[in-house]
């Protein structure tokens, strides 16, 4: 409670509120996904928070449909993306990994054991293997061992069926989408609704894949260029846990970028590979944030970096991260808000069922009051309702 009282003394900052209306309408046009104007990246990136350009055109707090509306549909399917859009999410998230033939597909992990029916395909039984990904040993089936044609014979399934049994209704309904398909889907939807469909696109394990000859950034940049989404004012935000991936993308396209941040003692895998000793704790110092602001428009920290949890799992007081990031001219889009008790801070859980919904509105209020610019949410409709109180 003390943490919530402390947080509630902080008001949303009007200067960062939406300038959605006219700017969004101006960004639609016949080109669908393509926003108006050519835009020019500045040292701190797109005009973003200040100029009402690039991500600055998004409503604040921005609600990101995390892996689509993954609270209601198997994640990273066109069904999950469409529902996210239908529920009103401001931006739809994709995680990208490559196939053996270098096609970008939407999966949270390259290990597809838990999110497809690959185990039911005897023709792929011999593809099951053990490998080390970013220092973690994994056994399963991996996208980089399948051609796109092979991967397309699989069907997507719910990742956490025990927690979200209703979502298994949709098991097998959709294939694993390619990013190219998502771009086509977004362009078509943009044309139909007369305004852009925003995408929030993450490169997964970029250093690992580059070591296999499957660099992610070049094909991603090619696709963005094909869809004219390579400009600073494109309705796309690129994201990665590996800063060097955002830096590489920055050299290829002007599309805005966000650096994702795990726990304070995490070390980005590109840092591990290059011998850079820094951890997330170093990246969120004022110096670290200023460096990020040289090539990215925002950060995507864990919610715990914004408001840490006490030993009992309840929220404490907000850290200085949001203010420090804003002083460095960086957007702050933390992850991940979920409705179920199991994922909520202890003081916002209701009852003993970990799969029942808790007081997600209370939790969201605490995070929004801490001044964040948006949030990744599995249940975007709930997050949008919570965000309404903070929009101008
Ligand atoms: O990209 C924001 C958030 O999705 C990061 O976490 O592991 O769900 O990709 P993850
Ligand atoms: Ca992600």
342 pLDDT tier (thresholds 50, 70, 90): very high
Q: Which of 9-18, 94-103, 126-135 has the weakest average pLDDT?
A: 9-18
pLDDT for residue 48 is more than 50: no
Give the CATH number of the domain where residue 67 resides. Answer: 3.20.20.190
Q: How deeply is 346 buried, as exposed, middle or buried, from its count of CB atoms within 10 A (0-12, 13-18, 19+)?
A: middle
Average pLDDT of span 211-221? 98
Note the pLDDT tens digit of each residue in 311-332. 999 999 999 999 999 999 999 9
Nearest Cα neighbor of 172 from 66, 74, 71, 69 is 74
Q: Active-site residue 108, yes or no?
A: yes
Instruction: State residue 52's pLDDT score.
Output: 67
Distance from the CA of 66 to the center of ligand 1, in angstroms?
A: 8
Q: Supply the range of the domain harboring residue 330.
A: 2-106+176-388
Going 337 to 339 to 344 to 346, the CA torsion angle's sign is positive
Distance from the CA of 237 to the center of ligand 1, in angstroms?
A: 13
H-assigned helices in the chain: 2-8, 20-27, 48-51, 78-86, 148-151, 179-193, 206-211, 217-226, 243-252, 269-274, 280-283, 286-292, 303-306, 321-327, 360-369, 380-388
Average pLDDT of span 107-130? 98
Number of domains in the chain: 1
SS3 274: helix
pLDDT for residue 178 is more than 80: yes
Residues 230, 223: Cα–Cα separation, whole Å: 9
Distance from the CA of 145 to the center of ligand 1, in angstroms?
A: 23
- 167 located within any domain: no
To test ligand 1's pocket by mutation, which of 62, 204, 336 has the most ligand atoms within 8 angstroms of CB?
Answer: 336
Residue ranges around ligand 1 (CB below 6 Å): 66, 95, 108, 202, 239, 260, 300, 335-336, 376
- 171 located within any domain: no
- 275 located within any domain: yes
Crossing angle for the helix pair 380-388 and 360-369, to the nearest 10 degrees: 50
Residue in 108, 205, 230, 326 annotated catalytic: 108
Q: Active-site residue 66, yes or no?
A: yes
User: 66 near 91, Cβ under 8 Å?
Assistant: no
Q: For the chain, what is the mean pLDDT? A: 89
pLDDT for residue 131 is more than 60: yes
- 131 located within any domain: no
Between residues 243 and 24, which one has the greater pLDDT? Answer: 243
- 13 located within any domain: yes
Whether a cis peptide bond, with omega within 30° of 0, leads into 61 is yes
Closest C-alpha residue for ligand 1 atom 10 = 108
- 299 located within any domain: yes
Instruction: State residue 49's pLDDT score.
Output: 56
Note the pLDDT tens digit of each residue in 143-173. 999 999 999 999 999 999 999 999 999 999 9
Instruction: State residue 341's pLDDT score.
Output: 98
Query: In degrees, to the nearest 5, what angle opens at C-alpha 378 toward C-alphas 372 and 380?
Result: 70
Q: Kind of pairing, strands 257-261 and 236-240?
A: parallel
Residue 191 CA, chain-centre distance (Å), reads: 24
- 80 located within any domain: yes
Instruction: State residue 125's pLDDT score.
Output: 98
- 160 located within any domain: no
């Amino acid at each position: 409670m003390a943490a919530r009282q402390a947080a509630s003394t902080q008001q949303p900052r009007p200067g960062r509120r939406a300038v959605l209306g006219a700017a969004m309408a101006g960004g639609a046009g016949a080109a669908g996904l393509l926003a108006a104007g050519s835009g020019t990246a500045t040292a701190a990136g797109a005009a973003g928070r200040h100029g009402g350009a690039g991500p600055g055109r998004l409503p604040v707090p921005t609600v990101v449909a995390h892996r689509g509306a993954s609270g209601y549909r198997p994640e990273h399917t066109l069904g999950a993306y469409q529902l996210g859009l239908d529920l009103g999410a401001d931006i739809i998230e994709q995680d990208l990994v490559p196939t053996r033939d270098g096609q970008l597909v939407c999966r949270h992990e390259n290990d597809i054991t838990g999110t497809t029916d690959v185990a039911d395909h005897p023709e792929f039984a011999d593809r099951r293997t053990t490998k080390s990904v970013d220092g973690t040993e994994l056994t399963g089936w991996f996208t980089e061992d399948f051609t796109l044609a092979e991967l397309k014979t699989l069907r997507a399934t719910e990742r956490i069926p025990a927690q979200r049994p209703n979502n298994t209704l949709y098991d097998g309904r959709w294939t694993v989408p390619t990013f190219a398909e998502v771009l086509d889907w977004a362009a078509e939807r943009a044309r139909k609704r007369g305004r852009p469909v925003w995408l929030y696109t993450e490169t997964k394990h970029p250093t690992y894949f580059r070591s296999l000859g499957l660099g992610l950034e070049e094909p991603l940049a090619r696709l963005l260029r094909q869809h004219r989404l390579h400009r600073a004012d494109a309705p796309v935000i690129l994201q990665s846990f590996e800063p060097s991936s955002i830096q590489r993308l920055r050299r290829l396209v002007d599309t805005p970028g966000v650096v994702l941040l795990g726990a304070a003692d995490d070390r980005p895998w590109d840092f591990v590979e290059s011998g850079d000793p820094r951890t997330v704790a170093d990246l969120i110092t004022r110096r670290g944030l200023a460096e990020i602001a040289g090539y990215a428009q925002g950060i995507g920290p864990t919610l715990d970096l914004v408001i840490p949890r006490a030993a009992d799992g309840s929220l404490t007081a907000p850290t200085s991260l949001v203010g420090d990031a804003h002083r460095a001219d960086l957007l702050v889009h933390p992850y991940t808000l979920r409705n179920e008790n199991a994922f909520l801070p202890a003081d916002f859980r209701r009852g003993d069922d970990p799969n029942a919904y808790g007081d997600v509105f209370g939790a969201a209020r605490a995070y929004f009051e801490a001044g964040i610019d948006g949030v990744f949410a599995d249940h975007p409709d709930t997050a949008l309702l919570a965000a309404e109180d903070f929009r101008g």
